[in-house]
Amino acid sequence: MKRKLATALVSAAFAVGAGSAQAQVSDGVVKIGVLTDMSSLYTDLSGKGSELAARMAVEDYGAAAKGIKVEIVSADHQNKPDVGSSLARQWYDVDKVDVIVDTPNSGVALAVNQITRDKGKAFLVSGAATADLTGKACSPNTIHWTYDTWMLANGTGNAIVKTGGDSWFFLTADYAFGHALERDTEAVVLKNGGKVVGKVRHPLNTQDFSSFLLQAQASKAKIIGLANAGGDTTNSIKQAAEFGIVKGGQNLAGLLVFITDVHSLGLQTAQGLIFTETFYWDANDQTRAFAKRFAAANRGIHPTMIHAGVYSAVLHYLKAVEAGKTDDGTKVIEQMKKMPTDDPLFGKGSVRADGRKIHPAFLVEVKKPAESKAAWDYHRIRATIPADQAFRPMAEGGCPLVK
């Protein structure tokens, strides 16, 4: 009872002190909804970690001290666009959520993108990959934060084709994300004079890839491009080793690989894999400090680029709410585009008119077991792609907002 009274008094004190800052914030609370995969193949690379990253951002921003009351809720979209859509509607209409963040799974993200636009709220995408979010499906209410299929294709595809990997076979997850990643990578391969000799589309969350791998093997392509993610990628890589694909002279290109996938495969299987990411925890002192705090609260799992993106996006969002003195979705997103971004994980950057957040990308290679000196010491950064080259030029995206 005593404690309850004390809490009430403290919040009352905050409320009084915060009167001015909260004037334009709807119902006095900035409510952040983390819509993510809490139970299936993308849980470790987003999931609870994304919720944690959002909390850390609110804490580091010092929302309480600044008098902005922030609440975080989270939910599991089960990788089903219909489930994700109804959660988003309920959050916006009933629970007064102001902004939805994360949302791995491009199918779900595209659905929530449209709903957010209809309701005039805000959507900060870190988990989903499809570049359509800043292309034909771009919206004045959405910012695509961390990475996208074009950037992955450009980073990894370019590097591989230029080192001789000029014939490709795609193993593609059969939904919006896989199709987008395959399309963007194919474009890079063709542009650089390579060719695509075949492709096969597998259902999301497949256990056995041997049949597909055999088709890839028979195609004699030099590179087998994995346009899938999470458990699908780890299973493909593991089983490819079993069928002697790499020993037979073909190489795998993991087009979207997260550090949690590398951890799950073990360095013995994952070594030598080349891929692109926009955040690596062991890049500098600030990222290391973040990773240490994050891992301690997340069963030792180190942050993926999606987690880092959620942190950075929420931080910038709160700064924009403070600067614009409103949490109206359309206005905050506009404000976020006006202000340059700056945070400990991605450094200085900006948000483009089409909703694309811009920062450098890293081409990394997975270390050999002998090179890894500590737990989660997995990646070596081979090249840094500068921010202005890492993402699709705005004119090529076909975003109607840009005209």
Partner 1 sequence: MEIFGIPAQAMFGQLLIGLINGSFYALLSLGLAVIFGLLNIINFTHGAQYMMGAFVAYLLLEKLGIGYWWSLAIAPVLVGATGMIIERTMLARLYKLDHLYGLLLTFGLALIIQGLFRNEYGSSGLPYRIPEQLLGAQNLGFMFLPNYRAWVIVASLVVCLSTWYVIERTKLGAYLRAATENPQLVQAFGINVPRMITLTYGFGVGLAALAGVMAAPIYQVNPLMGADMIIVVFAVVVIGGMGSIMGAIVTGFGLGVIEGLTKVFYPEASNTVIFIIMAIVLLIKPAGLFGTQK
Rule CB under 8 A: which residues touch partner 1?
39-45, 47, 174, 200-203, 205-208, 210-212, 214-215, 217-218, 230-231, 234-235, 238-239, 242-244, 248, 260-261, 263-266, 268-269, 299, 301
User: Which residue type sits at 42?
Assistant: Y
- With respect to partner 1, which residue has the nearer C-beta, 300 or 400? 300
Please name the helix (run of DSSP H) or strand (run of DSSP E) that holds residue 203, with its range, or none.
none
Q: How far is the CB of 263 from partner 1 (least distance, A)?
A: 7
Q: Which of 80, 344, 377 is nearest to 205 (CA)?
A: 80
Q: Which CB sits closer to partner 1, 22 or 298? A: 298
Q: Which is nearer to partner 1, 179 or 359 (CB)?
A: 179
Q: How far is the CB of 37 from partner 1 (least distance, A)?
A: 8
Alpha-carbon span 40 to 214, nearest angstrom: 27
SS (H, E, C) 4-20: HHHHHHHHHHHHHHCCC
Residue 214 CB: number of other CB atoms within 10 A? 12
Nearer to partner 1, 43 or 158 (CB): 43
Neighbours of 272 (CB within 10 A): 13
Closest approach of Cβ 53 to partner 1, in Å? 16
Element (H, E) at 277: strand 274-277
Smaller CB distance to partner 1: residue 299 or 373?
Answer: 299
Residue type, 186: E
- Those residues whose C-beta lies under 8 Å from the C-beta of residue 109, and which sit 6 or more positions away, are 103, 125, 127, 128, 130, 133
Minimum CB distance to partner 1 smaller for 130 or for 235 = 235
Residue with smaller CB distance to partner 1, 170 or 346: 170
Residue 348 Cβ vs partner 1, minimum distance, rounded to whole Å: 32
Q: Which is nearer to partner 1, 55 or 179 (CB)?
A: 179
**Minimum gap (Å) between residue 333 Cβ and partner 1:** 31
**Nearest approach, Cβ of residue 307 and partner 1 (Å):** 13
User: Which token pair is 240?
Assistant: 């490819």
Collapsed DSSP state (helix, strand, coil) of residue 99: strand
Q: How far is CA 208 from the centre of its chain?
A: 26
Cβ-contact 22, 39 below 8 angstroms = no
Task: Give the bridge partners for 379, in sequence order.
Answer: 366
- Amino acid code (one letter) for 197: V
User: Least distance from C-beta 253 to partner 1, angstroms?
Assistant: 19
Q: How far is the CB of 175 from partner 1 (least distance, A)?
A: 10
Please list the residues that pair with 196 across neighbouring strands: 168
Q: Give the Cα separation of 90 and 87 in Å (integer).
A: 5
